[in-house]
Structures are given as C-alpha cells and as structure tokens.
Structure 1
Amino acid sequence: LYLSDINPRTIVNDDAIVALAANIQEHGLIQSPAGLRDATGKVGIVAGGRRYRALALLQDDPRFQIVTVRMAPDQATAAFWATSENAQCEDLHPADEIRDFGAMEKRGVKVADIAVAYGVTEKHVYRRLALSNLPAPVLDALREGSVSLSQAAAFTISYDEALTLEVLALHMEQIAKGYGGLNDYTIKTRLKPGSVKGTDRRAVFVGLDDYKAAGGRIGGDLFADVTTFDDPAILDEVFAAKLTQTAADYPAAHGWKWAEAITESYISYQFDQDRKFGKVHPVEGELTEAEAERYDALAELANGDALDEEGTTELDALQTKRNGDFTAEQRATAGAVIYVASDGSLKVEAGFFRAEDKAAAVQAGILQPSRHASTEAAPKSPISDTLRGDLDRIGIGARQNAMLDDPKLALHLLAFQLCGKMGYDRAFGVRTDEVPNVPTTETGYVLDRRLTVSDTDDRSPFNRDHAAEFAKFRKRGDAKIMDLLNRYLVAHLTSSSPDLGAMIDKLTSKRTRDTFTPTAENFFGRVNGAYLNDLWSDLLGLAADHPTVTMFEKLKKGEKAAKLESLFADPVTRTALGLSEDQTCRINAWLPEGMA
C-alpha cells in the first residue's frame, strides 16, 4: 500500500494522526480506506489518507498488519471517490458533540477514552462536558445558531435552571428585535449578579477552605479559568469573623494594648484625626560606625545587583535595626489597626493611641500634645474661599518674613526635609515650584524686599557656559552666597504640617500683622455686612445696643469697610473714638479667623 497522488489531502496534523491511531487501536478500524491498483499490482490509497497514516503507526499490532481496502474499478471512479469523501466530510456540530460527550460520560466512559474516541484533547472533552449539563433549550439554541459557543459557556455559571431559561428568553427576544442578543458579560451578570471573583481581596484573605466550611458555594467559568464565590453574604461573614479574630489575637502575640480591625482596604490620610487617635512612630535605631560602613557597602552592592543571599540577609538585618521599633512603653499604652489590602494581604498599622489613653501617654512623655484644631462642626465661615486663599498667602509670607533672620534654622529645616523625615509633608517647595506669597491685591501687604527682588538677568537661558558662570558666582564670597541661599530657600517655605508650622512660627517669633494690615480692599470689602457689624462691636468691646454700634450698623457696606480701615490705619480716627489701651491692643493684634 502507498498514498496515491490522486488523494487530495497532502497536509496533515501529526498530533491528529497520533490521536487517530490511538482511536483505531482502541475501537478498531470502522471504515476501510479506498484504493486503486496500479500497473505494478500495488494499491494506492485514494480516499482515507489519514487512516492510512494512522495504520502505519500500528504495524506492531497484528490486528492492523492486514487491512481491507475497497477497490475502485477504474481511475475515473477512484478520482471521484477521492474528491467526494473529503468534500462531503462534515464535522459534528458542537451541540451534537456536546450531547454525545454527555451521553458517553453517563454511560461511564472515562474522559480519556472519550478523547481517544474523538481524537481530541482531554481539556477539550472537559469543556464540552461542562456544556453538556446545560438545559436542553440552550443546547437547541446553540444547534440553531442563536447562541454561540462563548455565549453557551456563559450560561454554565448558573445553578438556577429557571433563571437560565429566563435569561435565554431575554436573549432570544433581543435577537427577534434585531439587537443581536446578549453578550457573554451581560449573560454572566444576569445569571450571577452577586458572585465574587476568587481574586477579590476578601476571597483571597478567607480562602476556599474556610469559605466552604461555612457553607459557601464555589462556582466558576471553566472557559476563562475563573473561580467565583457564589454566596457573597457568607463570604462577608467569614471575612469579618476571620479579620476580627486576627485582631483579637494580635495584642497578646505582639505586646500591644489593643488591636482593632477595619474592613476598608487602606488607612486614609485623615484616619487618626477622624477617630481622634494619637499617633507615635517607632524609635529610630542607630548603627555603630562599623555597621554604618558595612550598610553602605552592602547597599552599593544591592544597587548593582551584585549582592548574594547571605549579603541580602545581613543587609535586611541592618535595615531592620536602622528602622528601629516601638518601645515596650509605647506598646503598653497604644494599639494597632489591622486591615486587608486590595491584594488580600493582611496589613498592620501600629502606634495609635485611643482618646482615653492620650492624656496618660502625653503625661508619660510617650505622645506629644496635639496641635490640631478642633474638628467639631462649626458654622459656615463668612470668609470666602478666594479671601481664604489670600489670607493663607499672607500667612505664608509672614512666616517667610520671620525666617529671613534665621538662616541656620532654614538650612536645618531643609536638611530635615531632604533626608526624608517628613514623609508626604514638606517644609519647602524645593522643586523650585512657585510658592504663592502675594495676594491678588497687595494693598496693606508689605514683604521684605529680599523676597520680592530676584537675582536674575535677561540673558537667554539656552546655550550658556554654566561652569564659567558658576566660577564667577563663587567669587561673590560666602556671605553673599549664603544670603542668596537663604533668600531663595525661604521663598520656597510652605510647610503643610500644622504642628511643624506652629513650631516654626514660635522659633521665628512670626508676627503676621508686621506684614499685613487689613483694609477695605484686601478684606473688609470682601465679607458681608453682618460680619463687619460684629467685628466693629468686638474690636471696641461695646454692647450691641451701644449708640456707636447701632450707628455703624446703619451705614452702607462700603462705608462700614472704609470706617474699619480707618480704625486700623488712621491715628486720627482712633483719637476721635478715644480708644483705650485695651481696645488699641485688640485692634493691633486682630487677625481674621484661621490666621495666626
């Protein structure tokens, strides 16, 4: 026997031939190949080339050493047979294949045997078997072409046949209206609107075993290799219980006074303020001189990807010592907050003090007193956002003004920020960002000239000889250079930390009123009349029914603003009103709310 040139199938899949050989060996040759005898007496196979190739692999089996071949009477008939068999061959429809796979499985046929019988992979069989359990109407729709294979696969996630048929009916209704039916995602969503993917942080943290032990059902999409947790309520219960138990066990294991679990996936920036917690940080560790040198050497190797496992372990140990740890005193009065991150991992943020423990911690020197303003609800401020922006700029300018006289403090503060001690906060806009310190109106506002006059020139910023210019710059001398450094450094002062800002103000003896005098243009004309009435009364210390107050209230807003401006800036007005020393001091010290 040989393969005739008349046979049209010249290219075959070798793996498919091996699978066909296994099928023939298991179940026998069901259909004989067809051939034509040539002039030499040999038989050329004109139809059944795949079977011929598979039989060639089975020549060690005596059953297939002699094969029956149906002979064509002439070459014309042989050519017709060769063309007809291949042209008329039709693959089994997927719906029929699915039903047959299911029927074979119910008869007890193993998946491996089904794969051999059909010449397919076992994975293909498993996927078809998953579809075989679909309700008959779904498979009928697949056979008719109303449902695609991927849409049929989407139906497999359902345990509820009534719901499955309901969604199928909606799909068919959409097709009848010419909308093309439901897509895979919509089918899945309608069948399991509440299912949770196995990649959900709750599912990862809980795990399959604990979830199933609580009665939770597992589903999934075999075609997308996705596991679903089909009882979200049970998952939430197990998640909360496991997280709560983890928090309950944590204090005894780690020496903290308490531990609390939160269900969020992160701790917000305002968490401690919202909960009125105090916060301490680990006591920073100190390396010996030898350890510091060793740390630098190992870190350099690590940066160059040249550090071995032993060196990595040593570097980690030094880093741990350098990072420091919480003290026993801190742990005895503080606690930890435990949460599950978005990837399902357990996270712990420690060092929080509850409100009832803060006073004792402050007294013991473990916790610094809070300088945050009260977060209690306050009435709506009469100061607009635009005006608040101006007042904030004035405050920044006053702080900069005060720091100009203490360059050493400025340098110390810069070093503090640059070494990473401030986290997300910053003391200076050292990225050379513009730090606004001039309000929209400069009336009544005066900054030190060193903060307003730049040391620049009008030459092009391109193609300049930086080395030569730097050499010329250095000839100014240390004193002038340090003055320039101080000027530009302080011009970028913009501390976002309230505690640090208060400390800077105290160290520099900041006096905002040295820089800012309220006027009708920069303040009084930008708030409402009721605010001006109250301010006039408060500054003069007069009752609401005092004639000076009642006369003021009858003025137009512009007149009120002008009168208040003269009260702050005009000595003649103050003399005419006969102000006392207390009233004068109150006016000289007054600042709008929120300023210091």
Structure 2
Amino acid sequence: MAKAAKTKKRSVPMIVFSRARDIPFNRIRLSDSNVRETDVEAGLDELTQDIDRREDLIQGLNVRAILDADGNETGGFETPAGGRRYRSIARLVAAGRFPADGLVPCIVKKADAKTSAVDDSLAENVHRLALHPLDQFRAFKRMVDGGMSIEEVAAAYFTTPRYVEQRLRLAIVSPKLLEIYAGEGMTLAMLEAFTVNPDHARQEQVWEATQQSYNRQPWHIRQMLTQTTVPAYDKRARFVGIDAYVAAGGPVLRDLFETDDGGWLEDVPLLDRLVADKLTATADAVAAEGWKWISVDISLPYGHDHGLRGLTGTGAEMTDEERATREALREEYERIEAEYGEVDGDLPEEIDQRLGEIETALDELENRPVVYDSADIARAGVFISIDRDGDLIVDRGYVRPEDEAPELVEGDGADADGETSSDKADGEPDVRRTVITIGGQPAEPEEDDEGDVVKPLPERLVIELTAHRTLALRNAVAGNPHVAMTALLHRLVLDTFGERSFPGCVEASVRKVYLSVQEADLKDSPSAKAVTEREQAWKDDIPFGDDEALWTWLDTLDDASRLALLAHCVSYGINALFERPNPYSGSGVSQHGLDQRLREADRLARATGLDMVDVGWRPTVANYLGRVTKARILEAVREGAGEQAAQLIDHLKKGDMAKEGERLLADSGWLPEPLRLIGDDAAADQPAEEDAALPEFLAGDDADGPAASDDETAHAVAAE
C-alpha cells in the first residue's frame, strides 16, 4: 500500500510591533494627517492638569519619522495619533513644568508600515470603548478606600464632590443588583433609586417585587424602599427637629440623586418617643396652671371639641415696659415707611428685614396671652397637639358637660365649684391633680399591670371598638332594606304614639352621627370603605340642587331602588357608640338613653346577622392587645386559643405578649366584649327592652342582678 503524501504545513507570517523609544519633545511636531480637526482645544485644560498631577503620561505618542525628499530620515518626528497629549505637553513646556528637550515615550511607526498616518489617527479615535459606568463607580470606591479623599478624587477627575459621593453610593448597592445593572437588566435611574435604603436584603426584596409589578419607575422603587419610614417633612419630624432626632441616635435615609426634602427618618419608634416626650413636657408645664384635664394627641380628630363649652378669657394687661416698647417700635416703623415710602422698586434688603422684625415683635406684644378665672380653670381642660407644619398647638379653656357646675338651690350649701362643704374632709387641701391623657390613654403607666386582676377596659378603647361596630351596623342595615324599614317604622311608631321621647339607636331625622373618637385605621376598614363607596354611587345619581327635580327623580325610582336608598339613608342615623353618660342630662346622653342605644344596637346586629369577625375585625396590638393589661391579654388568648396557648405566653413582657397574642388570636374569631352580642345564647324571643340586662363590660358595681361568680369577672368601663 502506498504511503499517503504528507501535507505541507503553511507558514503564517508573524506580527512584529513597532519599537518604543524616548524622543526629545523638541524633535516632535504635530502631523497634518491627524484627523481631529474640530474643537481641538476642548478638554485640554483638564488633560494638562491630569498630566501635571501625575507627572507622567499614561499613554505615549504614536510617531512617524520625517523623511527628506530622497526618503531619508531627518531626525525629526511627527505625531498623527496623540495630538491632544502633544498639545498638553507643549502647554507644560510653556509653563516651565517640562523641559523643551525632555524625553517623551513614543511608539515609532515602522518605515514599511502598511497603514497610513491618517489610518492610524482615525483608528486611535474610533477603536476605543467607553468605560462602563459601573467600573467608574468601583474605581472611585477603590481610590477612596486607598486613602484619597472625596475632594481629591473630584479634583483629579474635574468633577464635583457630590458627583463622586453619588458614584460611591452606587458602588455599595447590593452586588446582586449591580450585576443586573451590568447586564443591562435595569437602567441607571433605577439603580440610583435603590441607593435610598442601604439594606441589601430590602433592596433585593423590592427588586423581586418590581418583577411582579407593571410599575418599575424609579419613584415607585423609592416609595417601596421608604414605606416604613417617616419623611422629614412629616409634622412629627418638624416638631422634634432632625438635629434632635439624629442626636438621639436616629438614622436618616438620604437620596443623593433626587430632591428628598430632607430625607426619611428610619427609626419611627424613636421619633414617636421623642414626640411623646416633648408633648409630655409641654403638658406638664401647662398642668402647673391648674387645669382639670389635658388631652394630648398628635392629631386631634375633627370635632374634638364637639359638645364642650369654650371659656372666654381676657387678654393679659401689658406692663409699662411692654407699652413703651410697643410705642417705640411703632414710631420706628412709621419713620422707616416715611423715609422709604417714595423709593421706587424694592426696599434695601436690610430695611426690608428690619420692617419684618418690627412686625413680628408687634404681633407678639399685641397678641396677649388669655387669662382665665381660677374657678373656670379648675373645671376646664386643654388640648395639646401639633399642626400640619409641626408647630405646637396649646388650645386652652374647654369644659366638658359632666364638669359643668350644677344649678344651685338656695340653702344647699354648695360652694362656687359645685362641691358642698360636707364633701371635703376637714383640713383637706383643695388641690386637684391634672389628668393628662396622651392619645386617649393615661400619661402614666397602669399600676400593678403585672398582676392577675382583670381591670376594666379603658373608656377610650370601648368607644373606639363601638365605633367599629357602628360602621359595621350602618353597612349591614344599608344592605338590608327590610331591617331598615322595620327600624324606621319602629322609631316612627314610638314617636307618633308618644311611647318614647328620647332617641334610641335609630334617629329618624337621619342626623349623621360623627365618630369623634376613633382609631387611625377605622377609615380603612372594609365597612368604612363599603359605606363610602355606596355614598358616592348615590351621589353620582341623585340630582342635587333642584328640589323639584329631586322629587321627580325619587317618584320615578323603581321599588327596589327606593328601598335601597331608604336603607342607605336610615343607616346613617345609626349610633351604636358608647359614650360617658352625663349625670346632669344637660347635654350628651343619659344613662338610660345609653342603655337603650346599646340594646337596640344589639337587636339590629341580630336582625342583620352582623358578625364583627365576618366584617374583618381582628384583635391586634394597635386596636386592642397593646391597650389593655397583661391579665386582659391572657384572658383573651385563653378564651380564643385555649389555656395551653395562654400558658405559653404568660411569662412574656407585655409588649411581646401582645404580639404573640395577636398571632394566636388571628384566626380564632375571638371578640372583646364591646363587639359581642348581648347574651349570645339568648332565645330568639328577646325580653322587653326596659328589662334587658346590660353587658358585663358596661355593668357598674351596683347593677341589678346576681354578683359575678368567682370564675367570672365583671368588666366595668374604666373611669377617666
């Protein structure tokens, strides 16, 4: 067999690079072949300063030997690629920073080069890839970590310190997100938004959330990253002051890329504590004036002074010194106005500032503090709060109906405050301690909270719970025209036949009942939303503004629509709120009226099938468990989740116990007494209204009926 012929291997010519040499600068000149002809001076200042700072070149010049007419080298060189560096070196020579014959590192193009000088110049300016922004971020960080200051980095790269700070912030975003950005999975604007919160886990969590959302805008990312914080423009932050918050150790999130209005305060519990401390200090100072009560709340609800009588005080008299100061200020103001009254255009800045100072001083002098009679102060109170701009509000002089002095009968021995002499023990000082409440709760912690005694529910908590029930009842009645019609007829029959003159749960005049005391999230409850949506739907249809048109519209409604509208209107007259009875019956509700109201509310709940669990109420730390004693928490867990569950948490501190209680009771269907039906096991035939028993949580010590057994605790509403 013949041997196969061997294949001859082709030789591949090898590349030989041009040699590098150091050439005296005065032997080099610019080449006419350099393609950069537009804006050749642009950026030369920065490049020259950079070479001067480094005292070196990062990249040498690309040069070719200059030939004579016979093709021989002349000893001179031209640079078609490196013209900007050449011009910068020339500037340094002119400035005396580099010798004219100083050696410059150069790549000397081969004499037999296949490419032209124009080709080389174009290639150097075209075949370059801009640095990825992420590499710049990381480079800045490595430089700062290596010992350079932010100002030095900014000066070296001819930018601002803020720009460097922004890039440093970008460099410390979660590595996972940086890789996504490097792979073009997100825009630079989105990456900038992630710098708001330095928590990498939270950044990644928000990124995952954006993948499931249609909204991936930077503002939405910022919103999610700061949703558990408080913006610096929040009235609480303004009231305390950012400096005070930071001094207390509170962290502030800042956005270096957008206007953030001062940032976001991250430690909300600390902020709330600082607010409470500052408000409490104010309340203590005001209490020294002798007021009977002080109600402190960050946000006073609309109508907080409803049913209260406002005192009329007198303005404090000015001292002789204050009067003299006022007259001097007025004279100075009039003199300045006369001097500059004819001046065209704006006033000089210092004059305008002085006029403003005078106006402020006059306002302070003329807006005198109000002085009240000491007897009025002893029965009245003060509201302390914060306005929307974070300024303190101290609103003095309100008398509650139960604190009004009773009418005196001649010879009854009552003093000016309505207190008989027999009510005071001999030698007892006539001193009252101001009752301060914060957010409806006593300013001081409950005593013996660690004990096993089940204390009465706080009055404000009962009112808030019954506000939830009232809204739920309104929604239930509005959805049940038959019950609404029955309730309305029941009310009208009693009124028409003179059986009752006081209002019960249903007020036929349909006066909207304002929920003056309510927890913050009541407006977000399912019942509130359903009532609001139904209200808006009817408003969109009803022809308001023309009484005849309204009559015609109502007259032409079909029966189903008429009943639905009737039910909606009747529902707004429902009042199932607990409120403190007024013993004088001058205003508010009497004890008998309150008893009747709550019994009728229970009857309506049964008729509509209302269950507060079904409408979404669950016991939480905020709405119940954090507001009652440990004994109450354990009682709730024992009833809702069993004795074993209660034993598991009975050793915890109150805050932890409340949190665990919320978890254990989440799906238990447990309700506090104010939200339960009276006698859940009662027969369908209800007893007569006047004979029906009050629920235990409202029964006083002198309530009729047998005393509570040892294993059954009576729950009286706590007196303030």
Q: Calculate the TM-score normalised by the size of structure 2.
A: 0.42
User: In the alignment, is residue 249 of structure 1 matched against residue 280 of structure 2?
Assistant: no
In structure 1, C-alpha distance between the alignment counterparts of 2:45 and 2:503, rounded to whole Å:
79
> Secondary structure of 1:349's partner?
strand
In structure 2, the residue matched to 1:124 is 163
Cα RMSD between the aligned structures?
4.9
In structure 2, C-alpha distance between the alignment counterparts of 1:122 and 1:320, rounded to whole Å:
44
In structure 2, the residue matched to 1:107 is 146
User: In the alignment, is residue 326 of structure 1 matched against residue 370 of structure 2?
Assistant: yes
User: In the alignment, is residue 223 of structure 1 matched against residue 262 of structure 2?
Assistant: no
Structure 2 residue corresponding to 1:23, chosen from 50, 53, 72: 50
Which amino acid in structure 2 is aligned with residue 182 of structure 1?
Answer: R
User: Residues 19 and 116 of structure 1 are in contact (CA less than 8 Å); yes or no, is this contact kept in structure 2?
Assistant: no
In structure 2, the residue matched to 1:137 is 176
User: Residues 197 and 228 of structure 1 are in contact (CA less than 8 Å); yes or no, is this contact kept in structure 2?
Assistant: yes
In structure 1, the residue matched to 2:690 is none
Going from structure 1 to structure 2, the CA distance change for 1:332 and 1:188 (only over 3 Å counts) comes to same
Give the alignment of 1:389-404 within 5 angstroms: none
User: In the alignment, is residue 205 of structure 1 matched against residue 244 of structure 2?
Assistant: no
Which amino acid in structure 2 is aligned with residue 205 of structure 1?
Answer: F
Which amino acid in structure 1 is aligned with residue 254 of structure 2?
Answer: G
In structure 1, the residue matched to 2:270 is 234
Which amino acid in structure 2 is aligned with residue 224 of structure 1?
Answer: E
Going from structure 1 to structure 2, the CA distance change for 1:23 and 1:357 (only over 3 Å counts) comes to farther
User: Residues 36 and 43 of structure 1 are in contact (CA less than 8 Å); yes or no, is this contact kept in structure 2?
Assistant: yes
User: Residues 96 and 143 of structure 1 are in contact (CA less than 8 Å); yes or no, is this contact kept in structure 2?
Assistant: no
Q: Deviations over 1:271-327 (max 9, x none)?
A: 3225x2423355498999x99997996898799987866666665565556554423
Structure 1 residue corresponding to 2:130, chosen from 85, 91, 107: 91
> Secondary structure of 2:178's partner?
helix
In structure 1, C-alpha distance between the alignment counterparts of 2:405 and 2:181, rounded to whole Å:
72
User: Residues 266 and 341 of structure 1 are in contact (CA less than 8 Å); yes or no, is this contact kept in structure 2?
Assistant: no
In structure 2, C-alpha distance between the alignment counterparts of 1:354 and 1:110, rounded to whole Å:
64
In structure 1, C-alpha distance between the alignment counterparts of 2:330 and 2:244, rounded to whole Å:
49
> Secondary structure of 1:338's partner?
strand
Which amino acid in structure 2 is aligned with residue 25 of structure 1?
Answer: D
Structure 1 residue 68, shift from structure 2 partner? 3.7
In structure 1, the residue matched to 2:193 is 154
In structure 1, C-alpha distance between the alignment counterparts of 2:85 and 2:293, rounded to whole Å:
72
User: Residues 335 and 352 of structure 1 are in contact (CA less than 8 Å); yes or no, is this contact kept in structure 2?
Assistant: yes
In structure 2, C-alpha distance between the alignment counterparts of 1:202 and 1:69, rounded to whole Å:
66
Unaligned runs of 5+ in 1: 366-375, 386-437, 441-527, 529-596
User: In the alignment, is residue 32 of structure 1 matched against residue 60 of structure 2?
Assistant: yes
User: Residues 23 and 116 of structure 1 are in contact (CA less than 8 Å); yes or no, is this contact kept in structure 2?
Assistant: no
In structure 2, C-alpha distance between the alignment counterparts of 1:357 and 1:383, rounded to whole Å:
29
In structure 1, the residue matched to 2:206 is 167
User: In the alignment, is residue 80 of structure 1 matched against residue 89 of structure 2?
Assistant: no
In structure 2, C-alpha distance between the alignment counterparts of 1:235 and 1:145, rounded to whole Å:
39
In structure 1, C-alpha distance between the alignment counterparts of 2:175 and 2:329, rounded to whole Å:
74
Structure 1 residue 94, shift from structure 2 partner? 1.1
Give the alignment of 1:165-204 within 5 angstroms: 165-171=204-210, 182-204=216-238
Structure 1 residue 71, shift from structure 2 partner? 5.0
Q: Deviations over 1:430-456 (max 9, x none)?
A: xxxxxxxx998xxxxxxxxxxxxxxxx
Which amino acid in structure 1 is aligned with residue 251 of structure 2?
Answer: R
In structure 1, C-alpha distance between the alignment counterparts of 2:192 and 2:295, rounded to whole Å:
40
Q: Deviations over 1:383-419 (max 9, x none)?
A: 479xxxxxxxxxxxxxxxxxxxxxxxxxxxxxxxxxx
Q: Deviations over 1:511-532 (max 9, x none)?
A: xxxxxxxxxxxxxxxxx9xxxx
Which amino acid in structure 1 is aligned with residue 185 of structure 2?
Answer: S
User: Residues 64 and 77 of structure 2 are in contact (CA less than 8 Å); yes or no, is this contact kept in structure 1?
Assistant: yes
In structure 2, C-alpha distance between the alignment counterparts of 1:61 and 1:251, rounded to whole Å:
78
Going from structure 1 to structure 2, the CA distance change for 1:299 and 1:47 (only over 3 Å counts) comes to same
Q: Deviations over 1:475-502 (max 9, x none)?
A: xxxxxxxxxxxxxxxxxxxxxxxxxxxx
Which amino acid in structure 2 is aligned with residue 186 of structure 1?
Answer: H
In structure 2, the residue matched to 1:537 is none
In structure 2, the residue matched to 1:453 is none
Which amino acid in structure 2 is aligned with residue 155 of structure 1?
Answer: F
> Secondary structure of 1:271's partner?
coil
User: Residues 250 and 259 of structure 1 are in contact (CA less than 8 Å); yes or no, is this contact kept in structure 2?
Assistant: no
In structure 2, the residue matched to 1:339 is 385
Structure 2 residue corresponding to 1:280, chosen from 292, 299, 312: 312
> Secondary structure of 1:342's partner?
coil
In structure 1, C-alpha distance between the alignment counterparts of 2:505 and 2:216, rounded to whole Å:
53
Structure whose residues are more often helix by fraction: 1
Q: Deviations over 1:569-594 (max 9, x none)?
A: xxxxxxxxxxxxxxxxxxxxxxxxxx
User: Residues 277 and 352 of structure 1 are in contact (CA less than 8 Å); yes or no, is this contact kept in structure 2?
Assistant: yes
In structure 1, C-alpha distance between the alignment counterparts of 2:225 and 2:329, rounded to whole Å:
61
Structure 1 residue 38, shift from structure 2 partner? 6.8
User: Residues 218 and 229 of structure 1 are in contact (CA less than 8 Å); yes or no, is this contact kept in structure 2?
Assistant: yes
Going from structure 1 to structure 2, the CA distance change for 1:308 and 1:163 (only over 3 Å counts) comes to closer
> Secondary structure of 1:272's partner?
coil
In structure 2, C-alpha distance between the alignment counterparts of 1:353 and 1:278, rounded to whole Å:
6
Structure 1 residue 91, shift from structure 2 partner? 1.5
In structure 2, the residue matched to 1:578 is none
In structure 1, C-alpha distance between the alignment counterparts of 2:238 and 2:40, rounded to whole Å:
46
User: Residues 336 and 352 of structure 1 are in contact (CA less than 8 Å); yes or no, is this contact kept in structure 2?
Assistant: yes
Structure 1 residue 356, shift from structure 2 partner? 6.6
Which amino acid in structure 1 is aligned with residue 373 of structure 2?
Answer: E
> Secondary structure of 1:20's partner?
helix
Going from structure 1 to structure 2, the CA distance change for 1:208 and 1:76 (only over 3 Å counts) comes to same
In structure 2, C-alpha distance between the alignment counterparts of 1:360 and 1:311, rounded to whole Å:
52
> Secondary structure of 1:124's partner?
helix
In structure 1, C-alpha distance between the alignment counterparts of 2:85 and 2:278, rounded to whole Å:
60
> Secondary structure of 2:60's partner?
coil
Aligned length: 369
> Secondary structure of 2:393's partner?
strand
> Secondary structure of 1:273's partner?
coil
User: Residues 313 and 372 of structure 2 are in contact (CA less than 8 Å); yes or no, is this contact kept in structure 1?
Assistant: no
User: In the alignment, is residue 8 of structure 1 matched against residue 47 of structure 2?
Assistant: no
Q: Deviations over 1:77-129 (max 9, x none)?
A: 22112211111222210122222223333333433443455454332222111
Which amino acid in structure 1 is aligned with residue 197 of structure 2?
Answer: S
User: Residues 298 and 315 of structure 1 are in contact (CA less than 8 Å); yes or no, is this contact kept in structure 2?
Assistant: no
> Secondary structure of 1:80's partner?
helix
Percentage identity across paired residues of the two chains: 27
Structure 1 residue corresponding to 2:304, chosen from 271, 278, 292: 271
User: Residues 140 and 164 of structure 2 are in contact (CA less than 8 Å); yes or no, is this contact kept in structure 1?
Assistant: yes
Which amino acid in structure 2 is aligned with residue 243 of structure 1?
Answer: L
Going from structure 1 to structure 2, the CA distance change for 1:258 and 1:98 (only over 3 Å counts) comes to farther
In structure 1, C-alpha distance between the alignment counterparts of 2:365 and 2:249, rounded to whole Å:
46
Give the alignment of 1:517-556 within 5 angstroms: none
In structure 2, the residue matched to 1:349 is 395
Q: Deviations over 1:320-355 (max 9, x none)?
A: 565544236379556543322222233333444455
Which amino acid in structure 2 is aligned with residue 158 of structure 1?
Answer: N
Which amino acid in structure 1 is aligned with residue 394 of structure 2?
Answer: V
User: In the alignment, is residue 58 of structure 1 matched against residue 92 of structure 2?
Assistant: yes
User: Residues 3 and 45 of structure 1 are in contact (CA less than 8 Å); yes or no, is this contact kept in structure 2?
Assistant: yes
Going from structure 1 to structure 2, the CA distance change for 1:164 and 1:247 (only over 3 Å counts) comes to same
